Amino acid sequence: MIELTQTSYTVLGLVSLTTDGATPYDLKQMVAISVGNFWSVPHSQLYAEPDRLAAAGYLSVTREKGGRRRKHYKLTSKGRKALDEWVHSPTEGSIELRDPGILKLFFGADPATLAAGQIEHHRRRLNEYEATRKFADELPSPGPRLALEAGIGHEREYVRFWSKLAKKG
Amino acid sequence: MIELTQTSYTVLGLVSLTTDGATPYDLKQMVAISVGNFWSVPHSQLYAEPDRLAAAGYLSVTREKGGRRRKHYKLTSKGRKALDEWVHSPTEGSIELRDPGILKLFFGADPATLAAGQIEHHRRRLNEYEATRKFADELPSPGPRLALEAGIGHEREYVRFWSKLAKKG
DNA sequence: CCTATCATGTAATCCGTTACATGATTAT
DNA sequence: ATAATCATGTAACGGATTACATGATAGG
């Protein structure tokens, strides 16, 4: 019995999007173009976590015999069940800002100076999001597009917030 | 040489607000009424982290001789310097949403159902923030108030976002 | 007095981050 | 060929979370 973390569900969720399984490298690619924008996962985790999940019966593994001997992971019924339950369960996690910029602001950083950097950061993020918008609009499932909208709203809010501070200085 | 984490700076920052040092329990209390809303720290960390910082010379320790033998931590000049540099340095940290609700949304959760819970969560947060507003307005330093405003803006944005989704269902 | 909660700490576990490392492809 | 980059992993370390544990204080 292992504890499933958000990373676990991210992996399960990504694997569930494939038809014939995924290798850690596949997962890495998928993260990069999907959840990576708002929920990054270092690639080493994408090797470690599937093994954890496989050991606990949530994924099955097949290893290539020759060549790269890559590991291919697929959802087991147990894995699919866990994923479904997670998706449909009420969300527990306490969402905190945990924004280092806000922490600095709290402890006395000069608002105007800090704001300049933060605005740029959020603007860049915003651009990245909007660049993938067309792509997301084409997808059959609405989830990614809705998540993207959340991200855009989020970045816009922070651009607003820091812009207010920048002006005051 | 240790690596200073955000938790390290939180501790240094809190200690810096005191005149005659702080015990871990003091820190716990301070977190609860200050940064805890948007950057919580479990109390066990408030015992471990000051020791780490003291061992590395950022804090000094004095232990009570009798009774509870509490440890009192104060900033050393090294600690104050590190804190100042951090506060005034440009902010590196990549701020990601890392919102479990958005992750679920991405992976197919029913928007309307999910939204209901999320709205409540963010509303509660919002109320907590606004309750401390008067308190923050009285403080001499502007940081806490500005951080609070960020939090309020953040929660409002998410209430907006999830409310939109709730309606569509 | 007794018990509930506050106050204060320690221990164990583990995920996540950061390097390190090396076999395949591709480009020049 | 050789360098560069992609692909694919492993190792080590440490911070963070989660329990566990116990001495004070106050309330009844």
DSSP chain B: -----HHHHHHHHHHHT-SS-B-HHHHHHHHHHTGGGTS---HHHHHHHHHHHHHTTSEEEEE-SSTT--EEEEE-HHHHHHHHHHHHSPP--------HHHHHHHTT--HHHHHHHHHHHHHHHHHHHHHTHHHHHH-SSSHHHHHHHHHHHHHHHHHHHHHHHHHH-
Average pLDDT, chain B: 91
| B118 and chain A in contact, CB less than 8 A | yes
A44, closest nucleotide (Cα–C1'): D9
Of the candidates A13, A93, A121, the beta carbon closest to that of B107 is on A13
Query: Which H or E run contains A107?
Result: none
For range B7-33, the mean pLDDT: 93
Q: Is the pLDDT of residue B86 over 80?
A: yes
Q: Is the CB of A64 under 7 A from strand C?
A: no
Q: Is the pLDDT of residue A92 over 80?
A: no
pTM: 0.93
Q: Quickly give B168 CA vs C27 C1' distance in Å.
A: 52
Q: Is the pLDDT of residue A68 over 80?
A: no
Do residues A79 and A53 touch, judged by C-beta distance below 8 A?
yes
Interchain pair B106, A16: CB under 8 A: no
| A149 and chain B in contact, CB less than 8 A | yes
- Report percent pLDDT > 90 for chain B: 75
| B42 and chain A in contact, CB less than 8 A | no
Q: Is the pLDDT of residue B54 over 70?
A: yes
Residue at minimum CA to C1' distance from nucleotide C16: A45
Predicted confidence (pLDDT) per residue in B91-143, tens digit: 876 688 899 999 999 999 999 999 999 999 999 999 989 988 888 888 899 99
Q: Which amino acid is at B113?
A: T
Average pLDDT, chain A: 91
Say what the pLDDT of residue A169 is: 58
Interchain pair A111, B146: CB under 8 A: yes
Least reliable range by pLDDT among A64-68, B88-92, B146-150: A64-68
